Structure 1
Amino acid sequence: MPLENPRHRIAVLADQCVQCGLCLPVCPTYALDGNETESPRGRIAIAAALARDQVSPSDEVRGPLDHCLGCLSCERVCPAGVKYEELLLETRTLLGPAPERPKALLGLVKRPRLNHWAQRLARWPGVRQWLAPALPNAWRAALALMPEKRKATRSTSPVPNSRGKKAGTVALFPGCAASIHDADAEHAAEMLLTAAGYRVIRLPAFCCGALDLHDGAIHEAEAAATHLRQAWTTAGADYLVTVTPGCLSTLRRALPAVRVDDPYRLLAERIDELAFQPLPARFALHVPCTQANVARSDATLMTLLKRIPQLELKRLPAPPYCCGAAGSHVLQFPERAAQLRESVLMHMKTLDVRGLLSSNIGCRLHLAAGLEETASALPTLHPLTLLAQQWIPS
């Protein structure tokens, strides 16, 4: 059976939109620009025109499509059930990667070992001041996201013994950047899941393909998906989890028959196995767009965090507020990402909190860089790291 023509598929997906405009109030880029072309409705019209050869893929046409954060707040509120993510991915595949896409930089980001050495280099005294002025915008933006100091927040508690656990086997997917910058959270996930009764194994660290898939680099994305399927088959696990919700959609796309989730749901299903010591403190909670709209585990996360006695949470506002990180968006459009971030940080300034919690590594690094620019010493943590710090070993 022949594959469906991509242009026809895009046109069919676009025709599902009834142009009601209910997506506009939740779209971060529409809130930023106030321009119809920078809204889901406008992008759907552009995609339809491209699919029907009514317009050519000029910079003016593809600009709004490249600016889209893929936050999927529009998809969540759409009364017509438009499959916006699928439409966006199909259209970006049709166009191919943008000519200015920082391919070499993304190649570094996707390789954990290179990422590790780049992070160590960035911490050398004077490197930032000497190197930053000579770098292109995307590389300078990447340098700004790298923490200047190594943060020794990792729990020293050993992972509990998993022998005799009967809740199933969980494969933990480390990812690429997350395997370096979110090592604390991955260790915390392993500890908590094991304590809750699961057997936890780790897959090798590599890129899931999300960066390529969302930039229209379909061949690289398909190669990553093949790598993932091979690793999953070898693992022989019951569940696949990632501590980074930005990877979830791509993992699910590659493994449609597998239960792929963040750890919160699995922990919540066995919450009676866990106990936490009190923490008399107030934290701001940033819920990444992918956690709210893809994982849809924000309520579950709140339930878990409320198991910590005396912990007070202040959740930052929902869409159209978005921090602007959005995968490689923060590297390709750093000025726009900074504008979006400022709207989030403005709310932070009104809160008297001890720290900021956020589940997505890109969001957390981006927000931390913004706080650092204002000379704020406020720590940023993955919620799993905080849960592990307060966990009481049985």
Structure 2
Amino acid sequence: MNGMLLENPQARIAVLADQCVQCGLCLPVCPTYALDGNEAESPRGRIAIAAALARGQVSVTPELREPLDHCLGCLSCERVCPAGVQYEALLVQTRGLLGPAPQRPAALLEAVKQPRLNRWLARLARLARWTGAAGWAGSLVPGRKYAPWRAALALLRGGAGAGVQGKLKLPRPSPPLPGGGGSTVALFPGCVASVQDAEAERAVEVLLIAAGYRVVRLPAFCCGALDLHDGASRAAETASARVRQAWSDAQADYLVTVSPGCLSTLRFALPDVRVEDACRLLAERADALSFRPLPARFALHVPCTQANVARSDGALLTLLQHIPQLDVQRLPTPPYCCGAAGSHVLQFPERAAQLRENVLSHIETLDVQGLLSSNIGCRMHLAAGLDEHASTVPTLHPLTLLAQQWIPS
């Protein structure tokens, strides 16, 4: 994908692996190393495995590839690396070389990538929750407690109860006048986000227009992130071509998404385009927006992709600080990762649940009225965990909260 998936991946992997000086500074920020205490489950260990595979020094075995499959791709290691190792590129290349993991639930992930099917599943999940059928529905799904389909049902069940006010009702701001010099922003809806995060996408559209941007909406489809990071290279390239065509048709200046999990894949597809988390563009014009006071305390979960890919956590905090009287309690940073990590929550639901407990334990120490998280996979995963704990703490996208408090000019 535009330099990410080369014709000779072995040579590229070897070059990338040679950048690592084996200093070990990545170990303290790695969630899987914290979980397992195993060198193979650390960035340094995975780089060594990838290098040995690329050079033909070892053969692929289930035991050898397991640490590579377990990697969350959180990129906390890449952010702290003094040698500038391009860990994401190395991980994508290595998984592309190996192909998808044997335990990857391909049929389930194909369903996840279809917005129309997502919409029907979301309706069924809400109906099950309203009628009280959500609990016994899980018993109808065969398999062990942490089977992929059970994990998917738990995500839908938790997501169905997420949110603070239900349907977001907002007045639409006046669009910028033609020829007024406002930049045009293309909003990428994604697949799951286009359904499960529809309120956040409506919120960001309203806020961007209020900040002086013109907004166009791209069609809803999967950007290819799930396939790219799972080693399904051909499917990822097909999605990338679709992204490039949709961007070409949009005739916009910027591409934004409300889900940071899509960012790196969109940037791979469009290396010459400014692809941003919407928070950054809004923060640049935050002074043009006014917000009603909100005397409440919210926990803020910053997804790994927002901190390490978008690097817009500072911009998000700046925006939230514009809401008078709002008390934001940011949850601890790495090695704390919620464990959602794209398809990881479906491939390794038991590990994902263990990682989630580390995050939920911090939320339980705070007296908060809600949980904010900007990545739809993280938020559904955390909502499912809160649901299991019988917690009534609602979850929502930070931009939804901002839009709810926005004062139209």
Q: TM-score range by the shorter chain?
A: over 0.9
- After TM superposition, the structure 1 = structure 2 runs for residues 1-394 of structure 1, keeping only pairs within 5 Å, are 5-122=8-125, 123-124=127-128, 125=131, 126=133, 128-136=135-143, 137-146=147-156, 147-149=159-161, 152-164=165-177, 166-394=181-409
- The 3 A distance-change label for structure 1 pair 158 and 216 is same
Q: Deviations over 1:255-304 (max 9, x none)?
A: 00000001111111111210001001111110000000000010111011
Do the aligned partners of residues 87 and 150 (structure 1) sit closer, same or farther apart at CA in structure 2, a change above 3 Å counting?
closer
Provide the secondary structure at the position in 2 that maps to 1:231: helix
Q: Distance in 2 between matches of 1:25 and 1:75?
A: 12
| Cα contact 1:243–1:263 (8 A) shared by 2 | yes
Distance 1:72-1:16 versus aligned 2 partners, 3 A rule: same
Question: Greater relative contact order: 1 or 2 (C-alpha under 8 angstroms, separation 6 or more)?
Answer: 2
Structure 1 residues 337 and 320: CA distance shift in structure 2, 3 A: same
Q: Deviations over 1:176-206 (max 9, x none)?
A: 0000000010000000000000000100000
The question of whether the paired residues in 1 share the 8 Å contact of 2:256 and 2:278 is answered with yes
Structure 1 residue 154 displacement after superposition: 3.3
User: Aligned equivalents of 1:281 and 1:207: distance in 2?
Assistant: 35
Aligned residues: 392
TM-score (norm 2): 0.94
In structure 1, C-alpha distance between the alignment counterparts of 2:406 and 2:141, rounded to whole Å: 46
SS of the aligned residue for 1:223 comes to: helix
Equivalent-residue separation in structure 2 for 1:4 and 1:118 (angstroms): 39
Q: TM-score, normalised by structure 1?
A: 0.97
Change (3 A) 1:379 1:48: same
- The Cα shift of 1:148 comes to 4.1
In 1, are the aligned partners of 2:138 and 2:153 still within 8 Å (CA)?
Answer: no
AA at the equivalent of 2:360? L
CA contact (8 A) 2:162 2:394 kept: no
> CA–CA distance in 1 between the matches of 2:348 and 2:288?
44
Partner Cα separation in structure 2 for residue 245 and residue 154 of structure 1: 23
Q: CA deviation at 1:133?
A: 4.4
CA distance in 2, matches of 1:35, 1:173: 38
1:75 alignment partner AA: E
Question: Partners in 2 of 1:153 and 1:379 — Cα distance?
Answer: 11
Distance apart, 1:161 and its partner CA: 2.1
Question: Where do 5+ consecutive residues of structure 2 fail to align?
Answer: 1-5
Structure 1 residues not aligned, in runs of 5+: none
Residues 172 and 158 from structure 1, CA distance in 2 versus in 1: closer, same or farther, beyond 3 angstroms? Answer: same
**How far off is 1:166 after superposition?**
2.8
Contact 1:159 1:190 in 2 (8 A): no
- Tell me, in whole angstroms, the C-alpha distance in 2 between the residues paired with 1:172 and 1:81: 31
Give 2:47's aligned amino acid: I
SS of 1:170's equivalent in the other structure is: strand
In the alignment, the residues of structure 1 paired with residue 35 and residue 137 of structure 2 have an alpha-carbon distance, to the nearest angstrom, of 33
Provide the rounded CA distance (Å) in 1 between the counterparts of 2:135 and 2:106.
Answer: 22
Q: CA deviation at 1:4?
A: 5.3
AA matched with 1:249: S
Q: What SS does structure 2 have at the residue aligned with 1:369?
A: helix
The two structures, once aligned, show a CA RMSD in angstroms of: 1.3
